[in-house]
Amino acid sequence: MGTVKPPRLGERLLSWFCKDRWTDELLGDLEEQYKDNFHQMGKKRATLKYYFQILFLIKPHILKEKKSSPLMLRSHIKSSYRSLLKNKAYTFINVTGLAVGITCCFLISLYVIDEMSYDKFFNSSDRIYRVALERVYPTNTRYFGSSPVNLAPTLLENYPEVESAGRLHKLFFQNEITVSVGEKEFIEHNYLFADNNFFDVFSFEFIEGNSETALDGINKVVLTESTAKRFFGDGPALDKVYYLDTTSYVVSGVIEDIPSNSHMKFDILGSIHLLPFIEQAASTNSWINPWLFTYIKLKEGVNADVFEEKFPEMVQTYGMASILSQLSISADEYPNSGNEFNYFLQPIEDIHLKSNLDVELKANSNITYVYLLIATVGFILIITCINFINLATARSAERAKEVGVRKVLGSRKALLVRQFLTESNLVSISALALALGVSWLLLPSFNGLVEKNLNLEILTTPLVIVGIIVFILTIGTLAGLYPALVISSINSAVVLKGKYTSGSKGVWLRNALIIFQFFISITMISGMLLLNKQMMFMKNKQLGFNKENVIILDQAQELRTDQRAFRNELLKIDGVKNVTYAFAMPGEFIGNLITTSEIPNRPQVRTFTVSVDDAYIETLEMEILSGRGFNPDYNDSTNVIINETAAFLLGYEDPIGRKVINPNPRENQPGEFTIVGVVRDYHHQSLHTEIPPMVLFNVSDEAVMSKVAIKVETEDMLVLLKNIEDKWNEFENERSITYSFLSENLLELYKADSKTGSVFYLFTIITIIMACVGLFGLATYVTQQRTKEIGVRKVLGASVSNIVILLSMNFTKLILISFGLAIPLVYFGMSKWLESFAYHTQIDVGTLIGAGLLTLILAWITISYYSIKIAILNPVKSLRSE
Amino acid sequence: MGHTFITELEELVLLSTAILYPNAYAYGIATEIKDQTGKSLSLASVHTVLYRLENSGLLNSELGGKSEKRGGRSKRLFSLTQNGKKAVEEMQDVRQAMWAKIQSV
């Protein structure tokens, strides 16, 4: 019985946290209880109970009081301050390094928080969904954010789960409208159309007018506050009138400006009833054309996933008649026709980051980029902390004497640890102060880079302040803890005898940390190089037409019937090679049309269509593979040119003379077209998507088209542009000329990529600089310790280059190891990323080796500064040191 | 009347201390309460109550009573002070007075 003993660990645990006056009696009580329990319920449960009892004992009145007094803290701070001041270079590296890390962290956090906040400002935004459409065609599948006209009314009338349903429309074909207010004219880019229910779904704040009647008539418009101010000045705008061409519109409401963190953006909101094709589709109960964006708000407690399951039945019940008549097939044929209309719900809060459908209101962001940035900022912070730890451990030899003396004078280990932690926290707090200042200074330029309007306001909320303080103290403590423990456990007797060298202690960890650091750097550099390569690839890819030296003029419809005369005048200008009119130039939005082949039983092909004049193919230097281009000598009004993909999908081996059939021609439209030429596949759209089947229609010279492309060849572009402008002004004196360059317009398609790219470049460069700064500090200290050794080597005849190589060798080995580790990660990670582009570059060995070499060279430069300094030192000096 | 109100747990601890006198210490009190009421209390909660009662002058304590079972450690032995006695007595009086007024439960 006497052999029963409670676990020793419990005793130690208790005496560690418990006040001395209680320890003894409590341990006694615990032991007694343990013994009783032992006999009643066996060893296992008794032990478990014993630990639980100890755990419960962690109470305020039992816990030890903190021993450090404010006096001690003051002493810690004072000596930290002195020590930091004494080693200015070290302090500088640490504070600036950490400040850079924290600044990056702040800026990226602001960016990420903003990205995550999209569309959350609407009332009950978690119940608002967009109904999107997965349209499966026999040959392909397309995803529409938009949906047919009658979807919203159907949902609202027949489904009790739906609280409200609104519709929004965007005119994809027209980029700008000109609004006349009195004498003034405004060119507007952000105008959308909505029905009145739109305001039931979205809680826009009305400053003037009310949501009930704002859009219930065709000539009513709602303006945002700033737009109203622009148009009508500071006074009330309600019931004021503006003109679009000759039609008047009455302002029936003014709403607050839409925050920038929304997936929709408009200054002017017109009524969808204004648009004849929508009215017509609605009256014929069309379920075919996804022309509108449908937003619904579900009632509280409705599960979206469950509700979604009702959609197939809805299509069957309400839409099938329209679908069948449009596809001209019978209900029996439909299931095997390869056509599907699958609707699904997208939470509006997710649209900005997760929706990347073929048809969107505007280009959305991508959650991958958000993750990438979070990872990057994590890396930067890790590297900063590693620098902190590495430098501190490397300096342990220097601090050893101080620690020895402190120990001899009676300092306990805990006190020493506290001393070092005070020091590291002092560094992190000063870094925080510096980072706040720098963030504030850099924010405007960062805003410019990411094209956002971020501000530091969020830093004033109490939760964030507490978070930042905790974060800073954690970094300070984490980074200081390891060095503190290492240095404080130095044997004072050894140190004071002068025998202590930092030796192998902590070298293992230090090396591992360097490997990790450069592993990150190499990964990021390769990522950056590949990103760059892909951007170059997209910029330089042969597009199937020549985008260089092409000037695009917008608003050509203003010329009206003078288009032909204007072209003839342009051709007279020196340097103008060719002129073409069209409804869309490469890179711009184009429509699509369901077509069928002459060959029976072939699936329908959804082709993209663009109407062009005779000179289009020639001006853009596309290649005709067979047949001919449009030609003024022929009447090409029922002839078309198709691309290779269309020829393939229609099933024509020799397409010239064959037909492209439009199964549902509108009134006064021909139902079939004869193919007169095949053009080599060219990239009308961005390289994110594959080349679709395309049909080029010819328009007669009388038709008024919206775009002019001018192929030029000149030494002096400015003079040429001036000449073109003069000609324009001769024909059109109301509207001034708006021109752009095709090659630049095409770059717009990759704006999101290049924007994220530049943010990524920036932070990659910061990461590398941070890694090098750390290496520099470390190399300096390590080399310093070898001063004597180098002196001896020199005396024995080593050359400067010998010594520099010797000193670099260690770090080189570490970098090579990290290179080996980084390669597989980069390879797999980047292949995945590249696959998101339909047309992409390949990962080549050259890029990877390039990244490794770049890192190595940067590291060598960093190390060599101090190595050379030491290597050329006169050995007499170095040997006499100490 | 009514200057020190004590909680039920405090009353239980005070009564157990009185029962076990002169050998009342934390573990013993916890066992006593368990025997009397069936409630199993952790040492920590008993200790907390004892500490509070001692602070408010209802209990006295001294060290003593080392035993082999406790690994040779001493116990803190508690005893009721005058105020402590008064507190439990008052509690009892209040109860009885109240019961007397009840016709039936």
Global ipTM: 0.88
Give the residue among A179, A275, A268 at the shortest CA–CA distance from A222.
A268
List, in order, residues 6 or more apart from A622 with CB less than 8 Å away. A544, A545, A616, A679, A680, A682
Q: What is the pLDDT of residue A35?
A: 87
Percent of chain A with pLDDT over 90: 13
- Whether the pLDDT of residue A881 is over 80: the answer is no
- In angstroms, how far is the first alpha carbon of chain A from the final one? 66
A828 CB-side CA count, 13 A? 4
Average pLDDT score over residue span A619-648: 89
Contact of A194 with A269, CB cutoff 8 Å: yes
- Is pLDDT larger for residue A880 or for residue A433? A433
Which of the 8 DSSP states describes residue A319? I
> A24 CB near a chain B CB, below 8 Å?
yes
Residue A200 CA from chain centroid, whole number? 31
- Whether the pLDDT of residue A559 is over 80: the answer is no
Report how far residue A216's alpha carbon sits from residue A223's, in angstroms, rounded to the nearest whole number.
Answer: 15
Chain A positions in Cβ-Cβ contact with residue B75 (cut-off 8 Å): 25, 28-29
Residues 2-31 of B with CB under 8 A from A: 25-27, 30-31
Report how far residue A583's alpha carbon sits from residue B38's, in angstroms, rounded to the nearest whole number.
Answer: 90
> A205 CB near a chain B CB, below 8 Å?
no
Average pLDDT score over residue span A81-106: 86
Q: What is the pLDDT of residue B17?
A: 92
Contact of B33 with B40, CB cutoff 8 Å: no
Average pLDDT score over residue span A461-472: 87
Q: How confident is the model at residue B2 (pLDDT cuts 50, 70, 90)?
A: very low
Average pLDDT, chain A: 85
Residue A98 CA from chain centroid, whole number? 25
At residue A449, the 3 state secondary structure works out as helix
Q: What is the pLDDT of residue A67?
A: 58
Contact of A385 with A516, CB cutoff 8 Å: no
- Whether the pLDDT of residue A282 is over 50: the answer is yes
Lowest-confidence range among A577-581, A675-679, A745-749? A745-749
Residue A57 to residue B25, Cβ atoms within 8 A: no
Structure tokens, A372: 């990438």
Q: What is the pLDDT of residue A1?
A: 46
A179, β-bridge pairs: A186, A244
> A15 CB near a chain B CB, below 8 Å?
no
Q: What is the pLDDT of residue A701?
A: 64
Give the residue among A270, A250, A291, A253 at the shortest CA–CA distance from A193.
A270
Contact of A674 with A639, CB cutoff 8 Å: yes
Residue A25 to residue B25, Cβ atoms within 8 A: yes
List, in order, residues 6 or more apart from A819 with CB less than 8 Å away. A518, A522, A852, A855, A856
Q: How confident is the model at residue A640 (pLDDT cuts 50, 70, 90)?
A: very high
Report how far residue A414's alpha carbon sits from residue A408's, in angstroms, rounded to the nearest whole number.
Answer: 14
- Is pLDDT larger for residue A492 or for residue A498? A492
Q: What is the pLDDT of residue B4?
A: 63
Q: How confident is the model at residue A855 (pLDDT cuts 50, 70, 90)?
A: confident
Q: What is the pLDDT of residue A675?
A: 93
Phi first, then psi: what are they for A351, rounded to 5°? -60, -45
Average pLDDT score over residue span B3-28: 86
Report how far residue A27's alpha carbon sits from residue B47's, in angstroms, rounded to the nearest whole number.
Answer: 12
Q: How confident is the model at residue A66 (pLDDT cuts 50, 70, 90)?
A: low
Q: What is the pLDDT of residue A441?
A: 92
Q: What is the pLDDT of residue A879?
A: 77
In chain B, DSSP assigns E strands to 59-64, 75-80
The CA-based angle B47-B48-B52, given to 5 degrees, is 115
Residue B42 to residue A62, Cβ atoms within 8 A: no
Q: How far is A30 from chain B (nearest CA, A)?
A: 8
CB neighbour burial string for A526-539, b if at least 16 within 10 angstroms, e if fewer: bbbbbbebbbebbe
Report how far residue A565's alpha carbon sits from residue A704's, in angstroms, rounded to the nearest whole number.
Answer: 12
Using CB atoms within 10 Å of the CB of residue A577, give its burial: 0 to 12 exposed, 13 to 18 middle, 19+ buried: middle
- Whether the pLDDT of residue B11 is over 80: the answer is yes
pLDDT tens, position by position, A430-441: 999 999 999 999
A–B: how many Cβ contacts below 8 A?
61
H or E element at residue A865: helix A845-871
> A13 CB near a chain B CB, below 8 Å?
no
Phi first, then psi: what are they for A618, rounded to 5°? -70, -45
Report how far residue A732's alpha carbon sits from residue A704's, in angstroms, rounded to the nearest whole number.
Answer: 14
- Whether the pLDDT of residue A865 is over 80: the answer is yes
Report how far residue A43's alpha carbon sits from residue A45's, in angstroms, rounded to the nearest whole number.
Answer: 6
> B35 CB near a chain A CB, below 8 Å?
no
> B48 CB near a chain A CB, below 8 Å?
yes
H or E element at residue A452: none
Average pLDDT score over residue span A663-675: 80
Q: How many CB atoms lie within 10 A of CB A308?
A: 15
Q: What is the pLDDT of residue A644?
A: 92
pLDDT tens, position by position, A343-370: 999 999 999 888 888 788 877 777 877 8
Q: What is the pLDDT of residue A419?
A: 85
Residue B51 to residue A25, Cβ atoms within 8 A: no
Average pLDDT score over residue span A405-420: 84
Give the residue among A172, A443, A22 at the shortest CA–CA distance from B54.
A22
Report how far residue A536's alpha carbon sits from residue A533's, in angstroms, rounded to the nearest whole number.
Answer: 5
Which of the 8 DSSP states describes residue B74? P
- Whether the pLDDT of residue A864 is over 70: the answer is yes
Q: How many CB atoms lie within 10 A of CB B14?
A: 25
Report how far residue A869's alpha carbon sits from residue A860's, in angstroms, rounded to the nearest whole number.
Answer: 14
> A31 CB near a chain B CB, below 8 Å?
yes
Q: Which residue of B has its CA nearest to A57?
A: B44
Q: What is the pLDDT of residue A711?
A: 93
Report how far residue A304's alpha carbon sits from residue A126's, in angstroms, rounded to the nearest whole number.
Answer: 10
Q: How confident is the model at residue A833 (pLDDT cuts 50, 70, 90)?
A: confident
Average pLDDT score over residue span A542-562: 84
> A372 CB near a chain B CB, below 8 Å?
no
Report how far residue A458's alpha carbon sits from residue A488's, in angstroms, rounded to the nearest whole number.
Answer: 40
Q: What is the pLDDT of residue A65?
A: 67
Q: How confident is the model at residue B1 (pLDDT cuts 50, 70, 90)?
A: very low
Q: Which of B54, B62, B70, B74 to mutate to test the interface with A (most CBs of A within 10 A)?
A: B70
List, in order, residues 6 or more apart from A565 with CB less than 8 Å away. A731
Residue A57 to residue B69, Cβ atoms within 8 A: no
- Whether the pLDDT of residue A387 is over 50: the answer is yes
pLDDT tens, position by position, A698-752: 887 667 788 889 999 988 888 999 988 888 888 877 777 888 899 888 888 887 7
Q: What is the pLDDT of residue A502?
A: 54
Q: What is the pLDDT of residue A803?
A: 86
Q: How confident is the model at residue A56 (pLDDT cuts 50, 70, 90)?
A: confident
Report how far residue A365's alpha carbon sits from residue A359's, in angstroms, rounded to the nearest whole number.
Answer: 14
pLDDT tens, position by position, A752-775: 777 778 888 888 888 888 888 888
Q: Which of B32, B40, B43, B53 to mutate to test the interface with A (most CBs of A within 10 A)?
A: B43
- Whether the pLDDT of residue A811 is over 90: the answer is no
Residues in chain A: 882
pLDDT tens, position by position, A118-175: 999 898 899 999 999 998 887 778 888 999 998 999 999 999 999 999 999 988 767 7
Average pLDDT score over residue span A610-615: 88
Q: What is the pLDDT of residue A882?
A: 54
Q: How confident is the model at residue A842 (pLDDT cuts 50, 70, 90)?
A: confident
